[in-house]
């Protein structure tokens, strides 16, 4: 049986983060009676984008980590990638603001997430050739 226990730790942590980003959307939708979209509520817009950005990036990063783990990547590399991803995804939502484009947590969160995907992708290609 193949297993990915290191990736599983980070997937579990990120799953909890997913819920923390998802729950406020439901609460705001219920309070504002908004079925679809943001109903013109800028706070709901930000909450939706925080969650959507997470959903757009985290699954690929976790898949790449799992493939690395299955292909024998070292524990240190996997923990570095996983910890960086968790920290990046913690920072990113705090940087999203409806009025300000450039906020350091947003840039750091996006940049580190991209770096995790880049390093994981490169390592997989390197291991394959």
Separation of alpha carbons 23 and 14, rounded Å:
14
Which pLDDT score is estimated for 17? Answer: 97
Separation of alpha carbons 30 and 20, rounded Å:
16
What pLDDT, in 10s, does the model give residues 10-64? 999 999 999 999 999 999 999 999 999 999 999 999 999 999 999 999 999 999 9
Which of 75, 105, 79 lies closest to 10 in space, CA to CA?
79
Rg (CA), the chain: 17
Give the domains, in start order, of the chain with CATH numbers: 5-128 (1.20.120.550)
Which pLDDT score is estimated for 25? Answer: 96
Global pTM reads: 0.93
pLDDT at 117 over 90: yes
Q: Give the contacts of 105 (CB within 8 A, at least 6 positions apart).
A: 91, 92, 93, 94, 95
Residue 87 confidence class, pLDDT cut points 50, 70, 90 = very high
pLDDT at 99 over 90: no
């Amino acid at each position: 049986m193949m297993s990915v226990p290191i990736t599983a730790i980070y997937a579990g942590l990120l799953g909890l983060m997913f819920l923390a980003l998802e729950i406020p959307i439901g609460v705001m939708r219920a309070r504002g009676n908004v079925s679809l979209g943001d109903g013109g509520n800028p706070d709901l817009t930000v909450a939706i984008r925080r969650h959507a950005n997470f959903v757009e990036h985290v699954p690929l990063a976790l898949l790449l980590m799992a493939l690395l783990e299955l292909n024998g990547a070292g524990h240190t590399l996997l923990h570095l990638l996983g910890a960086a991803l968790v920290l990046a995804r913690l920072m990113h939502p705090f940087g999203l603001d409806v009025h300000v484009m450039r906020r350091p947590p947003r840039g750091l969160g996006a940049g580190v997430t991209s770096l995790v995907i880049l390093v994981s992708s490169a390592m997989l290609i390197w291991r394959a050739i």
